[in-house]
């Protein structure tokens, strides 16, 4: 059995795969399938206002910038143990 490449397994279905799936469920296009399955009353009328996508390096830089805003705080968990009985709940 031939192994599929990482990219082909994670990028999504090929055009031929989508066409085969649509044929199986009896629709000519994804738009026709959506029209038949999702009521217009709950669909968004406009596209979402999202920022441009980032490549992996841009995202790593971005998330590092966010992480650098974290403050290193002193951890006091476990400080001062006392032999007490904690009742079960």
User: Which range of residues forms the domain containing residue 15?
Assistant: 7-42
Number of domains comprising the chain: 1
In a domain, 60, yes or no: no
Nearest CA to 17 out of 76, 8, 83 is that of: 8
pLDDT, position 4: 64
Q: Which two tokens stand for residue 44?
A: 């968004």
81 is a domain residue: no
Q: How far is CA 62 from the centre of its chain?
A: 17
Residue 49 lies in a domain: no
> Is pTM beyond 0.75 here?
no
Question: Which pLDDT score, from 0 to 100, does residue 89 have?
Answer: 75
| Mean pLDDT computed over 1-12 | 69
Tell me, rounded to whole angstroms, the distance of Cα 47 from its chain centroid.
18
pLDDT at 1: 47
Q: What is the pLDDT of residue 2?
A: 55
pLDDT given at position 11: 81
Q: What is the pLDDT of residues 20-72, one digit of tens each?
A: 999 999 999 999 999 999 999 999 989 999 999 999 999 999 999 999 999 98
């Amino acid at each position: 059995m031939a192994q599929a490449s990482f990219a082909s397994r994670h990028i999504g279905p090929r055009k031929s795969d989508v066409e085969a799936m649509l044929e199986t469920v009896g629709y000519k296009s994804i738009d026709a399938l959506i029209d038949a399955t999702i009521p217009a009353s709950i669909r968004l009328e406009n596209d979402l206002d999202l920022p441009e996508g980032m490549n992996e390096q841009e995202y790593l830089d971005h998330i590092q910038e966010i992480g650098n805003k974290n403050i290193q705080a002193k951890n006091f968990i476990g400080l001062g143990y006392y032999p007490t009985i904690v009742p079960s709940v």
